[in-house]
Structure 1
Amino acid sequence: MKKNERLLKTIGINPQQSDIDKPFAPKSGPGVLMSQQRTAAELEKAKAEIEVLKNKLLPIEQLVSVPERMRKLKSGEFEDLKANLASNQLVHPIIVRKIAEDKYEIVAGHNRVAAYKELGRTHIEADIKTISDNEVFEAAFYSNFFTSDLSDFEKYEGFKIIQNNTGETQKSIAERAGVTPTLISYLFSFEKLPKDAIGLIKNQPFCLGATQAAKIAKGEESKIIQGLNMLLSGELQTEAQLVAFVLQKNNTKEITEPTTFKIGKKIFAELSSRNDIIAIKLKDQNQVTAIKQIIETAINEFIEKIN
C-alpha cells in the first residue's frame, strides 16, 4: 500500500480506485509550469512527426519533372520496374525539392514517378530536401550514381558536367565523389571519341563500355562512326566485333558499289563484298535455296581446281 493511501485511511477516508489511478497533478507554481512545458514539448514533437509523415507522401500532380535528369533504362527495365511497384512497396523514396507553393521539382526518381502514373497511383513517398540551384545537378547525379545501374557513358557525362561547372581536376572530382582516380580516368575514355560518336552513344548509352571506348578511340574517326552505326543497327552484334572492325587493317579494297544482276529491267540480285565477306541480296526470296546450291557447287569446283 502506498504511503498516501495509508495516510488517507488513518484519517478515515477510503480512496476510490479511480482516484488512485489518476496521475498526481502538481499544485505548486513551479510544478504546474514544468508540467505545461513538458506537455507543450510533447505536442510540438507530435506535430513535427505528423508533418514529416505528411511531407513523405506527395500528390503526383504536384511534382515537376526535369526530362534531362530522367535516367535511360535498358530495354524491358521500365516494365520490370512497373511490375515490381505494382505489387511491392516503394523501397527508396524519390527525392524532391520545393520550388513553389504545392510544387516540388523531382531531383531523383523520375522513372519511379512515371511507373506510378501508369499504375494509376495519385501519391508517392518522397524525401523533401533543401537543395540550391547550384547543387541540384550533383544531388541528382550522385543519387543515381550510388543507387542505380548507370551505364559507363552516363557516369562519364555526369562527371564531365561537374568538371565543367566546377573546373576541378579528375583527381579532385574522384576525392569528392569518394571513388578512385583510376575509375574517373577510365570513364573519361569517352572524351577521346569524336563528337559525332558521342552523339550516337548518347542515344543508346548502354551500347558501349568505357574499356571498349578507350580501344576504338585509337582508330580512324570515319571507321569509329561507321562501326558505331553498324553496332546500333545490329550489323555488328558485340562490342568486341566493333573493336575488331575499327582497328582492323584493310589489305583489300572495299567494294562500295554492289554488282547488280538483272532479268530484263528487273533487278534479280545484288552482289557486294567487304574485305573477307561476300554478300548476295536476292529480290525474290523463293530463289534463295537454288542460288545457295549454285554457290556451294561453284565453291566445291573451285576447291578441286586449287587442290
Structure 2
Amino acid sequence: MSTAAKQKAKAAGIRLDDDSMDTPSEPLAPRTAPGQLIGLQGRVHSQQAEIEKLKRALEQRAPGKLPLEKLHEIPGRRRRLTSAEYAELKANLTAYPLAQPITVRERPDGEYDIVAGHNRAAVYRELGRTEIDGIVLDIDDSMVEYAAFFSNLLSPTLSDFEKFWGFKSLQESTGITKEELAKAAGISDSHVGRIMKFDLLPSESKDLLATCPERLGSNAAEQMAKAVAEGREDKVKAAIERLVSDNTFTQAQAVAATKADRAPRDRHEPMVIRRGARKVCQISARNGVVGVSFSGSAADEADQWAEKIRVFIEAELGKQ
C-alpha cells in the first residue's frame, strides 16, 4: 500500500464520536436528511472540541524528563527526513538544548509510545543521552494522529505536502471547513487553501510526493494544479516524476515544464534592398504574406515593380 493510501486509510479509520451504549441493540440511525445533518453536526462539534482540547494540552502542558529506554517507536508514525535534514537536526541538538519537547502516550506497562518526536529521540540516543524532555498526553486512540500532526505542525521543517495530508485527514474525519481548519491550525485561510491545492494533483503524483514530500512546495503545487485544470495532466505527471527522481531538477523547472506550448514566433527579418547607400525597398514575409515597401522616390515606381513581380512569379510557375 502506498504512503498516500495509508494516510487515507488512517483518516477513514478515525471515529467521529466515542459514544457507547450498554444496551444490546444499536440505536436506529436518522432516516431523514435533516436528521442525518443534525447528527453529523453534533459529531463534528464534538470532534472539534477534542481538537481544541488537544491543542491546549500541547501548548500549555509542562514537559518532564522521560527515560529514553522506556520510549517506543510506532511503525509508520516517524517523519521521514532527508539525510541532510537529519544531520542538521543532530548538529543542532548537539550544540543546543531541545527547543520542542517530544509528545508521548503512556502504555499500560508504564512505558511510553512516541506520538511525535521520533527523530529527536533517535538523535538523543545517538548522542548517548539517557533522558529527553517530553509531554505525556492523556488521549484516546482517535486523537493520536491529530496529536502527532499538531506537534509536528510547530516544526519549521514540516513540508507543505505533509501539512496537506494532515489537513486532509482532519477534514475527512471531522467535516470542518477550510476556514475552521485554518483557525484550528492557527494559520491564514489563504495558506490552507494553497496547501490544499495538492489534492488537485494526479493520484500517481501524490503517491510519488509522499516518498519525497520536501521536493514540492505549495506555491509550485498551486501552479501545477492550474495546469491540470487546463488539460495538461500528463505534463504535470512527468514533471513531478522527474522532480522526485532527479535532485538537480528544480521546482521552477518543474513548473515551467507544465506550461502550455507557445506557438513558434516568426523570426524572419525584413530584407532591405539598396541602390548604393540609398534604401530602395524592404521585403517581408509572414504567415504566407509577402510585402514589398518602397522608400523615397522609388515609391513612384511601385506599380511598375508590382507588374514585374507578377511576370516573374508567372514565369517561375511555368517552369514547374
Q: Tell me the TM-score normalised to structure 2 length.
A: 0.57
> Which residue number in structure 1 is paired with residue 237 of structure 2?
225
Report the Cα offset of residue 166 of structure 1: 0.9
- Give me the CA root mean square deviation: 2.5
Measure, in 1, the Cα distance between the counterparts of 2:157 and 2:113: 23
Amino acid corresponding to residue 241 of structure 1 in structure 2: Q
Q: Which runs of 4+ in 1 moved over 4 A?
A: none
> Which residue number in structure 1 is paired with residue 128 of structure 2?
120
Report the Cα offset of residue 79 of structure 1: 1.3
1:172 aligns with 2:184: no
Report the Cα offset of residue 236 of structure 1: 6.0
> Which residue number in structure 2 is paired with residue 197 of structure 1?
205
> Which residue number in structure 2 is paired with residue 90 of structure 1?
98
Distance 1:69 1:206, change over 3 A: same
Question: Which has the larger Rg?
Answer: 1
Measure, in 2, the Cα distance between the counterparts of 1:191 and 1:231: 18
Alignment of 1:96-111 (within 5 A): 96-111=104-119
Identify the structure with bigger relative contact order (alpha carbons < 8 Å, sequence gap 6+). 2
Give secondary structure in 2 for the equivalent of 1:249: coil
Amino acid corresponding to residue 169 of structure 2 in structure 1: I
Measure, in 2, the Cα distance between the counterparts of 1:179 and 1:87: 31
Report the Cα offset of residue 147 of structure 1: 3.3
Give secondary structure in 1 for the equivalent of 2:154: helix
> Which residue number in structure 2 is paired with residue 237 of structure 1?
249
- Is the Cα–Cα contact under 8 Å of residues 107 and 140 in structure 1 kept in the other structure? yes
> Which residue number in structure 2 is paired with residue 299 of structure 1?
none
Give secondary structure in 2 for the equivalent of 1:76: helix
1:210 aligns with 2:218: yes
Measure, in 1, the Cα distance between the counterparts of 2:239 and 2:262: 14
> Which residue number in structure 1 is paired with residue 190 of structure 2?
182
Alignment of 1:33-182 (within 5 A): 56-182=64-190
Measure, in 2, the Cα distance between the counterparts of 1:71 and 1:108: 8
Number of residues paired by the alignment? 200
Alignment of 1:223-302 (within 5 A): 223-234=235-246, 237-249=249-261
Distance 1:175 1:57, change over 3 A: closer
Any stretches of 5+ residues in structure 1 without a counterpart?
A: 1-51, 253-307
Distance 1:247 1:69, change over 3 A: same
Measure, in 2, the Cα distance between the counterparts of 1:125 and 1:222: 48
Amino acid corresponding to residue 235 of structure 2 in structure 1: K
Any stretches of 5+ residues in structure 2 without a counterpart?
A: 1-60, 265-320
- Is the Cα–Cα contact under 8 Å of residues 230 and 236 in structure 1 kept in the other structure? no
Report the Cα offset of residue 75 of structure 1: 4.0
Report the Cα offset of residue 250 of structure 1: 7.3
Give secondary structure in 2 for the equivalent of 1:147: coil
Amino acid corresponding to residue 236 of structure 2 in structure 1: I
Deviations 1:94-145 (A, max 9, x none): 1111122222111221111111122233332222221222222222211111
Amino acid corresponding to residue 168 of structure 1 in structure 2: I
Amino acid corresponding to residue 188 of structure 1 in structure 2: M
